[in-house]
Structure 1
Amino acid sequence: MTRIRYVLVGTGNRGTTMWGQGLLAGWSDYVELVGICDLNLMRAERARTMIGSGAPLFDDVDRMLAELKPDLAIVCTPDATHDDIIVKALEAGANVISEKPMATTKAKVERIRDAEARTGKRVDVSFNYRFSPTAARIKELIEEGAIGTVTSVDFHWYLDNQHGADYFRRWHAFTEHSGSLFVHKATHHFDLLNWFLDSDPEEVKGFGQLLHYGRQGPFRGPRCRTCEYAEVCDYHMDLGADPFLDTLYEEPSAVDGYFRDACVFREEIDVPDTMTASIRYRSGVQVSYSLNTYMPIEGHHIAFNGHKGRIEMRQYEKQPWSEPPADEILLVKSFGGGVERIWVPHEPGGHYGGDNRMRDMIFKPGSNDRLRQRAGSRAGAMSVLVGVAALQSSRAGGSVAIDPLPPEFVR
Structure 2
Amino acid sequence: MKNSRRKFLSSISMLAASSAMPLHAFNFGSSKKLKVALVGTGIRGITFWGKRLVDEYSDIIEFVGLSDINSSRLAYGKKYIGVACPVFIDFEKMVKDTRPDLIIVTTKDSTHHQFIIKGIEMGCDLLTEKPLTVDEIKCQAILDAEKKSDKNLIVGFNYRWSPYATKIKELLMDKTIGDLVSVDFSWYLNTYHGASYFRRWHGDMESSGSLWVHKSTHHFDLLNWWIDSEPSEVFAYGDLEFYGKNSPFRGDNCRTCKHSNECDFYWDITQNEFMKELYVDHEQEDGYIRDNCLFRKDIDIYDKMSAQVKYTNNTTLNYSLTTYSPFEGWRVAFNGTKGRIEASQDIPYHTNITVSEAEKHTNEMDQTNKEELSYEPIIVHKLWKEHETIQVPMEKQGHGGGDKRLQDKIFKTADTEDPYGRTAGIRDGAMSILIGIGARRSIEQKKAIQISELTDLVPQKKR
Q: TM-score, normalised by structure 1?
A: 0.96
- What is the SS of the residue equivalent to 1:252? helix
Per the TM alignment, residue 51 of structure 1 is displaced from its structure 2 partner at its CA by 1.0
Once the two structures are superposed, residues 99-121 of structure 1 have per-residue CA deviations (whole angstroms, 9 ceiling, x without a partner) of 11001111111111121122111
The equivalent of 1:399 in structure 2 is 448
Q: Determine whether 1:3 maps to 2:33.
A: yes
2:431 paired residue number: 382
The aligned counterpart of 1:359 is 407
Aligned-partner Cα distance in 2 for 1:30–1:343:
37
* Structure 2 gap segments, 5+ residues each: 2-31, 354-372
> Are residue 292 (structure 1) and residue 322 (structure 2) matched?
yes
Task: Name the counterpart of 1:274.
Answer: 304
Which of residues 323, 337, 340 is equivalent to 2:388?
340
Give the match for residue 108 of structure 1: 138
Q: Which residue of 2 aligns with 1:314?
A: 344
Per-residue CA deviations over 1:245-295 (Å, capped at 9, x if unaligned) read 100001200111111100000101000000000001110001100000111
Q: Deviations over 1:163-190 (max 9, x none)?
A: 0000000000011000000011001111
The code of the aligned residue for 1:331 comes to V
What one-letter code is carried by the residue in structure 1 that aligns with 2:450? A
Counterpart of 1:73 in structure 2 is 103
In 1: Cα distance, 2:416 partner to 2:85 partner: 28
**Structure 1 counterpart of 2:114, from 75, 78, 84:** 84
Deviations 1:2-34 (A, max 9, x none): 422111110111101110111211122232111
What residue number does 2:22 align with?
none
Aligned-pair CA distance for 1:151: 0.2
1:217, 1:22 → 2: CA distance?
40
Match for residue 195 of structure 1? Answer: 225
CA 1:318–1:367 in structure 2 vs 1: closer, same or farther (change >3 Å)?
Answer: farther
C-alpha separation in 2, matches of 1:306 and 1:379: 24
1:129 to 156, 159, 171: 159
Q: Distance in 1 between matches of 2:347 and 2:271?
A: 23
Mapped partners of 1:139, 1:120: distance in 2: 32
Tell me if the contact between 1:202 and 1:280 (Cα under 8 Å) persists in the aligned partners: yes
1-structure distance, mates of 2:63, 2:238: 41
Within 5 A, what are the aligned runs for 1:15-34?
Answer: 15-34=45-64
- The one-letter code matched in structure 2 to 1:405 is L
1:391 partner SS: helix
1:140-159 deviation per Cα after TM superposition (whole angstroms, max 9, x unaligned):
11011100000000000000
Is structure 2 residue 291 aligned with structure 1 residue 261? Answer: yes
In structure 2, what is the Cα distance between the partners aligned to 1:370 and 1:115?
A: 31
Conservation of the 8 A alpha-carbon contact between 1:155 and 1:288: yes
1:344-370 CA-partner distances (Å, limit 9, x unpaired): 122363011100000012222313322
Q: How far does the alpha carbon of each residue in 1:211-261 deviate from its partner, in whole angstroms, 9 at most, with x for none?
A: 110000121001011111111111111111111110000120011111110
- Give 1:321 deviation, angstroms: 7.3
**d(CA) in 2 for partners of 1:298, 1:125:** 25
Q: Is the 8 Å Cα contact of residues 181 and 271 (structure 1) preserved in structure 2? A: yes
**How many aligned residue pairs are there?**
409
SS of 1:235's equivalent? coil
Q: Counterpart in 1 of 2:422?
A: 373
Q: CA deviation at 1:76?
A: 0.5
Q: What fraction of aligned residue pairs are identical, expressed as a percent?
A: 45
Whether contact under 8 Å (1:297, 1:319) holds in the other structure is no
Quick one: distance in 1 between partners of 2:177 and 2:244? Answer: 43
Structure 1 position 388, deviation (Å): 0.4
The runs of at least 4 aligned residues of structure 1 exceeding 6 Å deviation read 317-321
Provide the C-alpha distance between the structure 2 equivalents of 1:305 and 1:373, rounded to a whole number of angstroms: 22
Deviates more, 1:317-326 or 1:349-358: 317-326
Q: Provide the C-alpha distance between the structure 2 equivalents of 1:368 and 1:243, rounded to a whole number of angstroms.
A: 42
Distance 2:39 2:294 in 1: 27
Q: In the alignment, is the contact (CA less than 8 A) between 1:277 and 1:288 conserved in 2?
A: yes
For 1:195 and 1:280, how far apart are their aligned partners in 2? 14
For residue 322 of structure 1, report the CA deviation from its aligned partner.
Answer: 2.6
Query: How much does 1:318 deviate?
Result: 6.9
Give the SS at the match of 1:214.
coil
Task: Kindly report the root-mean-square deviation, in angstroms, between the aligned alpha carbons of the 2 structures.
Answer: 1.8
Q: 39, 42, 55: which one pairs with 2:69? A: 39
SS of equivalent to 1:182: helix
Could you say which residue in structure 2 is the equivalent of 1:143?
Answer: 173
Which amino acid is 2:115 matched to? I
Between the aligned partners of 2:459 and 2:306, the Cα distance in structure 1 is: 30
- Indicate the SS of the match to 1:279: strand
Q: Is the 8 A contact 2:312 2:459 kept in 1?
A: no
Q: Distance in 1 between matches of 2:136 and 2:85?
A: 35
Q: Is the 8 A contact 2:451 2:459 kept in 1?
A: no
2:266 aligned partner: 236
Tell me, in whole angstroms, the C-alpha distance in 2 between the residues paired with 1:259 and 1:294. 22
Residue identity opposite 2:109 in structure 1: D
Q: TM-score, normalising length from structure 2?
A: 0.85
Q: CA contact under 8 A between 1:278 and 1:286: conserved in structure 2?
A: yes
2:237 corresponding residue in structure 1: 207
Instruction: Give the deviation of 1:327 after TM superposition.
Output: 2.2
Partners of 1:121 and 1:406 lie apart in 2 by 22
